[in-house]
Amino acid sequence: MKPGKKNHALEFPFIVVWEFRVRSGRRRAFEKAYGPEGDWARLFRRDQEYLGTELIVNEEGPLRYLTLDFWTSRRAHRRFLKHHQAAYERLNGQCELLTLKEKLIGEFDHLGGKPACAQTRKSHAGTGKLRPATASDIPRMMALERNLVSAARWSEATYRGIFAQGSRASIACVAESPVCGVAGFFIARLTGDECDLENLVVDAEQQSRGWGKRLIDELVSQARARGAKCINLEVRESSRWARSLYEKSGFAVSGRRRSYYRNPPDDALLYRREL
Ligand SMILES: CC(C)(COP(=O)(O)OP(=O)(O)OC[C@H]1O[C@@H](n2cnc3c(N)ncnc32)[C@H](O)[C@@H]1OP(=O)(O)O)[C@@H](O)C(=O)NCCC(=O)NCCS
């Protein structure tokens, strides 16, 4: 590690390490593409949970380089790959002629790094706020749910209907970040002393930062304050993340509806939380 440079490994929990053998005559181009300010680093910077890259070299014997890419968490890295797969593969193709061989050494969690990860996730979500949704949020809400296969799809008229009924029959809340505006929302309906969660969505780019949990906590507290005795919801059986969020938030499976969803087909699991 070069003197005077920040030692990311001491601060950040997740590191991806690759080893490269560089083609003769391509050393300078390789360092330019793979260094801390190179093409790869610029691509990774599209995600705010990328923390930096170190490039290290072993000049004894055949020229070998290691890149160390620092991320706030394994999950953040995985999410980046999912959302930028095409750009990643394009750049990989462009860099093919620079190297003879490349090998993923491994993906490492820094021992004791968990608190840094948790703090980063919390602080991203923590900089935003939750507020009641209004009819002016409808276009953004529709744009968010249209991007996510597992979210419920509603027409504009359905959204308008919810706000037209006034706040007595429903609870609608948005999560708002100073960086990206509305990052997610939920809509729930109150019927007697029961509350049904009808939609919960967090922008794909904003997921895994604690917004979902904050929205559910807000739903629980508002439903309780409005006299509800329980919250019900249904979710695709294949929506692993959503189910994990609900289970962590005190919901338990109360039933199943076979082949309830289409496009793609799926069972619905019913969840319930007593308040
Ligand atoms: C489900 C959804 C709302 C979760 O929102 P989120 O902001 O990503 O959730 P959080 O960051 O608060 O995470 C809460 C929990 O969800 C689960 N989770 C979230 N992201 C995850 C990931 N990438 N991998 C695994 N679990 C994940 C975890 O259990 C997490 O708890 P943890 O942080 O203690 O590990 C979001 O993924 C979403 O909008 N999905 C598409 C729409 C949808 O399925 N809605 C539910 C319809 S019923």
pLDDT in tens, 228-240: 999 999 999 988 8
For 170, the token pair is 């429903």
CA angle 102, 106, 109 (to 5 degrees): 150
Mean pLDDT of the chain: 85
Per-residue pLDDT tens over the stretch 36-51: 889 999 999 888 788 8
Q: Is 269 in the pocket of ligand 1 (CB under 6 A)?
A: no
- Give all domains of the chain, ordered by start, each with its CATH number: 8-121 (3.30.70.100), 127-274 (3.40.630.30)
Q: Is 74 in the pocket of ligand 1 (CB under 6 A)?
A: no
The DSSP letter of residue 13 is: S
What pLDDT was estimated at residue 115?
Answer: 36
In the chain, what is the greatest distance between 2 CA atoms, to the nearest angstrom?
A: 76
Q: Which of 121, 180, 233, 244 to mutate to test the pocket of ligand 1 (most atoms within 8 A of CB)?
A: 244
What pLDDT was estimated at residue 208?
Answer: 79
> Could you tell me if 179 and 206 are in contact, meaning their C-beta atoms sit under 8 angstroms apart?
no
Tell me which residues of the chain have a pLDDT lower than 70.
1-12, 111-127, 166-167
Distances in Å between the Cα of 57 and the Cα atoms of 18, 64, 92, 111 are 12, 6, 20, 25
Specify the ligand 1 atom closest to the Cα of 242. 1
Buried/exposed code over 115-139 (b: 16+ C-beta within 10 A; e: otherwise)? ebbeebbeebbeebebeebeeebbe
**H helices present in the chain, as ranges:** 8-11, 27-34, 39-44, 74-83, 85-95, 114-126, 138-146, 156-164, 211-225, 240-248
What pLDDT was estimated at residue 53?
Answer: 87
Q: Is 273 in the pocket of ligand 1 (CB under 6 A)?
A: no
Per-residue pLDDT tens over the stretch 157-195: 999 988 887 667 899 999 998 777 899 999 999 999 999
Q: Which residues contact 252 (CB under 8 A, 6 or more apart)?
A: 271, 272, 273
114-119, long-range: CB within 8 Å, 24+ apart, which pairs? 114/13, 116/11, 116/12, 116/13, 116/72, 117/13, 117/14, 117/72, 117/73
What pLDDT was estimated at residue 2?
Answer: 30
What pLDDT was estimated at residue 128?
Answer: 80
CA of 62 to the centre of ligand 1 (A): 45
